[in-house]
Amino acid sequence: MKSRTVRLDIDLDVVTVGARSGLLWSRSGDGDPVSALAGVGESLRLPAQRPGGGTAAQAALARLEGPNEVTGVGTGPVAFGAFAFDPNLPGELIVPEIVVGRGTDGRRWITMVDDGSLTVADAIERVVDLAQSVDPAVVTAQPSAFELQSVLPPEIWRDEVVAAGRDRITAGELDKVVLARELVLATDEPIDVAAVIARLAATFPAAIVFSVDGFIGASPELLVARHGDVVRAHPLAGTASRASNPAVDRGLAAGLLASAKDRWEHRITIEWLLDGLLPFCSYVDAEPEPSIVSLANVHHLGTRVEGRLSSPPASALELAGALHPTPAVGGDPQDRALALIDELERTDRGRYAGPVGWVDAEGNGAFAVGIRSAQFDLASGSAGDASASVANTVRLFAGVGVVADSDPESELAETRSKFGAMLGALIRP
């Protein structure tokens, strides 16, 4: 198999294509040359070893390179990946049969990875059909009944998970642990996953909107992006709810920025990430002070990190493997935090808070932290297949950073705010 990349001169909504096909990455701003990538069909899957940097998978992707009249980041063969939170679990990359891309400069392109039998005209027809299609199953029946269950009763999670984690921290075992809570949503009729993605994109325009193998979300947090020898990250840690009253909302944001507890929690993540990037870089630095990142449902503390990679530059896949899980989703020290998560949470996070993103044959790419996300139990089909666009069961997670002065009731309230991002897109009157 080889790839072929040509310019795409038609005005096509890449996000709609990826929302319907099930393979999507969409991100705007922050110097990213690629604003959206959508995959259609499935050419092959590449095993990506973990722990480690996926060296064999990256090499296999590079062997698929072929004629490319566009060139640049995100052109040529591209693979999508959504990895488990547990860094010891194996992963894989999905190489679509067709990838359609849009650059921040307005360029569009289409890449085919096959045996040469797929014509450019046929590939364009397939993506145009997806951009214009409506799933008949969704038109004829939509959910009218929703059942939302907490895997652990909220008071049990508060008292036996969060409070227990805080007590272990005050006893000196570790400095921070991130503990997650799980909800399961079941519906009487299938949910249109593409419609949910469209709502997320509209509600959270600054977020990274993704869809890989039924794992979808609108993450505010960039784990790592690599374009040539430039590496960027935008870690978040520290959260406050939002308010409908503008004056109250500004007060909540100011309180977050002034919070000693949240700033200390944030500093742990920044220092850890800088230490993780330094072995790969000739230069790396972070903004001197965090700033407020405001989403529709919550405020976060965020700090931008940027550096120059040493030659030869590590791939985005390798960097994601080295940086995940950060203290923002695991804790500190990492080994003790991960062990405590296994002990206390009583659930399997799956892909929640794992790396999700894309990589091209040159090692360019970007991975988000898979938060503000949901895992759909797809009714049928596979990644890159429009038939896999409806589901009746969804798993959702929300996590909180627990430190010595955490209040379990406040942490429970924080999960409710974070769940609002996905629930607002899933449940419609």
In order of their start, the domains of the chain are 2-131+147-426 (3.60.120.10)
Q: What is the mean pLDDT of residues 321-331?
A: 94
- Report the C-alpha dihedral over residues 317, 322, 325, 331, rounded to 10 degrees: -170
The three-class DSSP label of residue 107 is coil
Q: Confidence band (pLDDT; 50, 70, 90) for 390? A: low
Residue 299 token pair: 């405020």
The rounded distance, in Å, linking the Cα atoms of 366 and 212 is: 14
- Phi, psi (degrees; rounded to nearest 5) at 17: -60, -50
The answer, yes or no, to whether residue 140 has pLDDT greater than 60, is no
Can you give the pLDDT at residue 201? 92
Can you give the pLDDT at residue 406? 93
Q: Which residue, 313, 403, 315, 328, is CA-closest to 369?
A: 328
Residue 225 token pair: 């992006």
Beta strands in 287-382 (DSSP E): 291-294, 298-302, 305-309, 331-332, 355-360, 365-369, 373-378
Neighbours of 134 (CB within 10 A): 11
Neighbours of 249 (CB within 10 A): 16
Neighbours of 36 (CB within 10 A): 24
Beta-ladder partners of 31: none
Choice among 63-77, 260-274, 332-346, 379-393 with the minimum mean pLDDT: 379-393
Residue at token pair 């870089």: 281
Can you give the pLDDT at residue 138? 45
Q: What is the mean pLDDT of residues 100-118?
A: 94
Can you give the pLDDT at residue 139? 45
Q: What is the mean pLDDT of residues 193-218?
A: 93
Please provide the distance, in angstroms rounded to a whole number, between the alpha carbons at the two ends of the chain. 47
- What angle, rounded to 10 degrees, do the helices at 260-277 and 246-258 form? 60
Beta-ladder partners of 224: 367
The rounded distance, in Å, linking the Cα atoms of 221 and 333 is: 21
The rounded distance, in Å, linking the Cα atoms of 80 and 95 is: 7
Q: What is the mean pLDDT of residues 156-160?
A: 97
The three-class DSSP label of residue 60 is helix
Report yes or no: 243 and 302 within 8 Å, Cβ to Cβ.
no
The rounded distance, in Å, linking the Cα atoms of 125 and 114 is: 16
Report yes or no: 126 and 110 within 8 Å, Cβ to Cβ.
no
The answer, yes or no, to whether residue 92 has pLDDT greater than 70, is yes
Average pLDDT, the chain: 91
The rounded distance, in Å, linking the Cα atoms of 172 and 141 is: 54
- Report the C-alpha dihedral over residues 363, 369, 372, 376, rounded to 10 degrees: 60
Give per-residue pLDDT as tens, 17-50: 999 999 999 997 667 899 999 999 999 999 998 8
- What angle, rounded to 10 degrees, do the helices at 408-426 and 193-203 form? 120
CA angle at residue 143 from 141 to 145, to 5 degrees?
Answer: 135
Q: Which residues contact 325 (CB under 8 A, 6 or more apart)?
A: 85, 87, 334, 338, 353, 354
The rounded distance, in Å, linking the Cα atoms of 293 and 427 is: 25
Residue at token pair 């959260």: 239
- Which amino acid is it at 202? A
Residues identified as active-site: 176, 221
The answer, yes or no, to whether residue 137 has pLDDT greater than 50, is no
Question: pLDDT over 90 for what percent of the chain?
Answer: 77
Beta-ladder partners of 91: 48
Q: Which residues contact 65 (CB under 8 A, 6 or more apart)?
A: 2, 3, 76, 77, 361
Can you give the pLDDT at residue 265? 86
The rounded distance, in Å, linking the Cα atoms of 264 and 271 is: 11
Give Cα 407 to chain centroid, integer Å.
Answer: 28
Q: Which residues contact 86 (CB under 8 A, 6 or more apart)?
A: 349, 354
Can you give the pLDDT at residue 380? 47
Strands 281-286 and 208-212: unpaired
Residue at token pair 């397939």: 126
Distances (CA, A) of 104 to 30, 108, 359: 10, 9, 17
